[in-house]
Structure 1
Amino acid sequence: MADKIAAAWDKLGEHPHTPLAELFADETRVAKLSGRIALGEGQGSILFDWSKTHLTDGILRDFEEVAGHAGFIDARDRLLSGAIVNPTEGRAAEHTAQRGIGKDSSVEEAFALHQRMRLLVEAIHEGVFGEIKHLIHVGIGGSALGPALAIDALARDLSLVDVHVVSNIDGCALEQAFAACDPRTTLLAVASKTFTTIETMTNAQSVIRWLEASGVSDPTGRVIALTASPEKAVEWGVDETRILPFSESVGGRYSLWSSIGFPVALAVGWDEFAAMLDGARAVDEHFRDTDGRENLPLRAAFADQYYTRIRGCQTRACFAYDERLALLPDYLQQLEMESNGKSVTVEGKAVTAPTAPITWGGVGTDAQHAVFQLLHQGTNLVPVDFIASIAPGDELDPAHHRILLMNCFAQGAALMAGRGSDDPARSYPGDRPSATILCDDLDSAALGALIAFHEHRTFANAVLMGINPFDQFGVELGKEIAKKIEKGGESFDASTENLLALAGLA
């Protein structure tokens, strides 16, 4: 099978390069390389336009062959059925079960845990805990990035509780949250899968001390624990009624849909959180029920692999032309780079081609005046995703949103078309690829769908590359060395020893 996969990749490398302008001579190109996912009754839809990439019928056909030899259909079925898809840790990856797609027992468990979370959220809103105006949510990685993204996107117009997500161990981050909160009306959510993460638990202890110093009589009574290790939360002092468990098979960067989403539900209400789950499920169903190039996350992965493996692109950029998605590039960095930043295959052999590119991005139109110079005239070829919403997120003069969308669409057109000039400094080479994701509206369902689309895109990329996207051992070595520094008695390289001495840590 490895020989067949290698041969299929070789065929992809033999395709001649056809400029985008020539590809658009095909009047059916936009229809063939665009697809739409409906988000449910009354929820609108999202358009995924990959026509400004260099994908052709022949390239897509050969990618479908790669996917077949790589066992994509079986891998997808295993993912969505709760089978083990993380062989290094012997685990399933059951984030879709949180949305109702998966093994029956896991879906039932997720529903029961969601109901437990809903009851607690509604009790807080109804005043059972007294007057609650603020929540300090401490976590790191997926326990923080997902909630931060969703709250920033959805809670701008209506926030039932003011939520501050703190992930950095740097005390400045926590002090900023303290300055914005009244301790008499503040809850603390501690989000940690193991309930041992040093950054999270250190921050949690500091919040407890802040509450205590501010005259709160029972600081631990203000704690909500979000964890897959409820027994550890009990040992830490959290009452069982305020522990919201989630399954061990839900990975950190895929955990927003579980009780890690508690701060989102608290901020915007349960109905909005449920709508986010529904939007994600709509993408799950499309991903499950659609094959080949018509499967939109798989098609996106085909383009990703074409640019990374065939064209040698080392980065991929994402620009959200919507202020509410300002944190999306940060979220995608972890999702894609922690999942697919690997150097060995599922079998433990060294990979023979590039894996994940560096994911980066920003917000339009700010990014146009910062980094687009390189995109248009630099020597690096960078595939770009543009994300926008037809409906505005503001109530100002419609000119604001009209100009925003015009700039978004113009950038994609300019990257593709380019423009020649007798003055080399004013010449644009063009033929630079982009994709556009256009939401009817950026509501809770659309946000859920956007995140789920990128989850499945990341998984599809991993299958095509033959790697495991669900472990992350690369983050462990630095942690181990930090523990050795704290313990003392170890020696390090001369540079590190000098830095430790200068900082008073030797």
Structure 2
Amino acid sequence: MLTLVTESSKQAGPAELRNEAWSRRDLPAWQKLEQHASQMRETTLGELFNTDPGRASTFAIEDLGMYADFSKNRINTETLALLVKLAEQCGLEEKITAMFNGQKINVSEDRAVLHTALRAPREVTIEVDGQNVVPEVHEVLEKMAHFATAVRSGQWRGHTGDPIRNIINIGIGGSDLGPRMAYHALRQFSDRKLRLEFISNIDGAEFAEATHGLDPAETLFIVSSKSWRTLEALTNATTAREWTLAAFDGDTTAIASHFVAVSTNTDGVTEFGIDPSNMFVFWDWVGGRYSLDSAVGLSLMVAIGPENFTEMLGGFHDVDEHFRTTPLERNIPALMGLISVWYNNFMGAQSQAILPYSHYLTHLPAYLQQLEMESNGKHVTLGGTQVDYQTGQIIWGQPGTNGQHAFYQLLHQGTKLIPCDFIAVIEPLSELEHQHDLLTANIFAQTEGLAFGRSAQELRDTGSPEEQIPHRHCKGNQPTTTLLLDRLDPRSLGSLIAVYEHKVFTQGVIWDVDSFDQWGVELGKLLADTIIDELTADDAQPMDHDCSTTELIRRYRTGRSRK
């Protein structure tokens, strides 16, 4: 039996996980990396490939059903050795162990961080406050599977006895981005007789469009809100409740057949009218952006079936074990995190592009945007001191080849350093194989062009007019990482997501920040609670805002004919 819990993990508290007060910049490896970066800035990818003919194999790792090509990054063996040394000096391996053992590494909220427990096999023991959490994880997974099977088979019926044909996931943040992204990625594995829609935006237009033309008698809402107090989720859930009741002449007993909840707040769910037996729980050691493989993924499980969902969990776990046990110099997510630190903190990059060459991965850049920017967009260390270096990157992107006709011009000839992750799939999911070949040719061409560009002499040799050469010249030297997946299926999707989860964890350890809280998000919610009352009151209320916010509120009230 694999047991991850240790005696030290039972005894360690959050204070013991805090780092000393000095800056990461004082670490010997950090200082050596700063010196090394001054040399590497003057070294081009062309020079690196010319001096190392075996570079393509030296800087590539094949594992987990994927081939990770790091060779087109502006690094050499010394760079990687120094980055691994930095990871060692930051205690990365010890903190990996702490996370998997259930230590409370979310120090600001005094919580464990155990999304890895959501995909752990039954025989694993992972303890939080002395309790093995794995059995209750599998208990929820079994309940989810029973429910998903009932809906898919037609056993679950609506209020009038009609089978469910439409499922609408209501959530926000991770409760929306995760299942939305994964559903689109796995459409070919879904039951096409079921229609799955997503509502997250508090803008009522999204609700109106998602429900347009649907029959309430055949529609099931899955409402995901851990606290059952999230403004967007509860607003949309209340609207959905009214929409449903209007179809059944206000009969509140209809709610039990058309609503289920993913939450921890039994009282709130019951008050809403949902039968507590139709509530699927998760835990405070699951962060929203890490919750796809919890009950938050219920709508996805209904769409693709319990067997495929289990396969996805297996992919997550494959990467968990790789991250936990593989030496850092061959550890795919650790290296991705360290290389991103290299560009962010030593080479002056401000952002990173995520460029999946798959229509099915359309929503992956937005999903990873939340995962990374909400996790590591922090300005203080674990100990609460101000950082004196850059932390979270700006994550953005779009699927290829669409992006090639939108922003690749800036990548090839702009003035900014933007490392790019290209994601390709070997086995096509459509029957149009010739188009898949063309798609793949484009991704390989882009990474080659970004790395090596096109020199002025090459342009002259091909007959370009001299006056055009400055405009057509592409200097290259733009770094890329390519992840080449064998196929896109539930298991490989789980692996891909977990790679990025652990990449983000690696970054957070190096930057000495809490990657698992999001207090900045809370500020906007708090202020909105005050302003909504001021926008909707019958009479103007006394306001205590800056002059700009006050004037905006007044103009809105005037436009809505409120004095």
Aligned-partner Cα distance in 2 for 1:234–1:29: 60
Aligned-partner Cα distance in 2 for 1:86–1:187: 35
SS in 1 for 2:212: helix
Listed one character per residue, the Cα deviations across residues 222-266 of structure 1 (whole Å, up to 9, x for unaligned) are 111001223331232211221110112111000001000100010
Listed one character per residue, the Cα deviations across residues 193-238 of structure 1 (whole Å, up to 9, x for unaligned) are 1011011001001011111112374342111100122333123221
- State how many pairs are aligned: 499
Corresponding position: 1:450 with 2:496? yes
Q: Please point out which of 326, 331, 334 is paired with 1:295.
A: 331
- Aligned residue in 2 for 1:41: none
* Cα drift, residue 180 of structure 1: 4.6
- Aligned residue in 2 for 1:416: 451
Aligned-partner Cα distance in 2 for 1:108–1:414: 51
Listed one character per residue, the Cα deviations across residues 117-161 of structure 1 (whole Å, up to 9, x for unaligned) are 111111222323220101111000000000000111112463252
Corresponding position: 1:184 with 2:217? yes
| Identity level (%) | 37
* Cα drift, residue 478 of structure 1: 1.4
Please, which runs of 5 or more residues in structure 1 have no aligned partner? Answer: 39-44
Q: Please point out which of 106, 128, 139 is paired with 2:155.
A: 128
Corresponding position: 1:10 with 2:50? no
Listed one character per residue, the Cα deviations across residues 16-64 of structure 1 (whole Å, up to 9, x for unaligned) are 11211122231332222211223xxxxxx11111111012111111111
Aligned-partner Cα distance in 2 for 1:450–1:342: 25
- Aligned residue in 2 for 1:42: none
- Give the stretch that moved more between structures: 133-142 or 54-63: 54-63
Q: Please point out which of 128, 147, 156 is paired with 2:179.
A: 147
Aligned-partner Cα distance in 1 for 2:55–2:317: 28
Listed one character per residue, the Cα deviations across residues 346-403 of structure 1 (whole Å, up to 9, x for unaligned) are 010111110011000001000000000000000001000000111112112x221011
Corresponding position: 1:138 with 2:163? no
Instruction: Map residues 191-340 of structure 1 onto 2, 5 A cutoff.
Output: 191-215=224-248, 217=251, 218-221=253-256, 222-340=258-376
**Structure 2-normalised TM-score?**
0.86
Aligned-partner Cα distance in 2 for 1:189–1:321: 31
SS in 2 for 1:503: helix
Residue 492 of structure 1 aligns to which amino acid in structure 2?
H
* Cα drift, residue 163 of structure 1: 1.0
Q: Which structure has the larger Rg? A: 2
- Aligned residue in 1 for 2:62: 36
Aligned-partner Cα distance in 1 for 2:239–2:179: 21
* Cα drift, residue 102 of structure 1: 6.3
Is the 1:484–1:490 Cα contact (8 Å) retained in structure 2? no
Corresponding position: 1:95 with 2:122? no
Q: Please point out which of 362, 365, 368 is paired with 2:404.
A: 368
Aligned-partner Cα distance in 1 for 2:181–2:532: 33
Aligned-partner Cα distance in 1 for 2:271–2:522: 25
Aligned-partner Cα distance in 1 for 2:100–2:170: 30
Corresponding position: 1:402 with 2:437? yes
- Aligned residue in 1 for 2:394: 358
User: Compared with structure 1, are the counterparts of its residues 27 and 420 closer, same or farther at alpha carbon in structure 2 (3 Å cutoff)?
Assistant: closer
- Give the stretch that moved more between structures: 109-118 or 485-494: 485-494
Is the 2:164–2:219 Cα contact (8 Å) retained in structure 1? yes
Is the 2:248–2:254 Cα contact (8 Å) retained in structure 1? no
Aligned-partner Cα distance in 1 for 2:543–2:350: 37
Is the 2:354–2:365 Cα contact (8 Å) retained in structure 1? yes
Aligned-partner Cα distance in 2 for 1:210–1:315: 42
Residue 26 of structure 1 aligns to which amino acid in structure 2?
D
SS in 2 for 1:86: coil
- Aligned residue in 2 for 1:436: 482
* Cα drift, residue 476 of structure 1: 1.4
SS in 2 for 1:235: helix
SS in 2 for 1:14: helix
Corresponding position: 1:23 with 2:48? yes
Instruction: Map residues 49-64 of structure 1 onto 2, 5 A cutoff.
Output: 49-64=69-84
Is the 2:171–2:233 Cα contact (8 Å) retained in structure 1? yes
- Give the stretch that moved more between structures: 209-218 or 79-88: 209-218
Residue 28 of structure 1 aligns to which amino acid in structure 2?
G
Corresponding position: 1:163 with 2:200? no
Aligned-partner Cα distance in 2 for 1:412–1:107: 42
Is the 1:346–1:467 Cα contact (8 Å) retained in structure 2? yes
SS in 2 for 1:363: coil
Aligned-partner Cα distance in 2 for 1:102–1:261: 23
**Structure 1-normalised TM-score?**
0.96
Corresponding position: 1:487 with 2:487? no
SS in 2 for 1:93: coil
- Aligned residue in 2 for 1:391: 427
- Aligned residue in 2 for 1:346: 382
Misfit runs of 4+, over 3 Å? 1-5, 216-219
RMSD: 1.6
Residue 29 of structure 2 aligns to which amino acid in structure 1?
A
Aligned-partner Cα distance in 2 for 1:3–1:350: 9
User: Compared with structure 1, are the counterparts of its residues 162 and 220 closer, same or farther at alpha carbon in structure 2 (3 Å cutoff)?
Assistant: same
Aligned-partner Cα distance in 2 for 1:353–1:109: 41
SS in 2 for 1:27: coil
SS in 2 for 1:374: helix
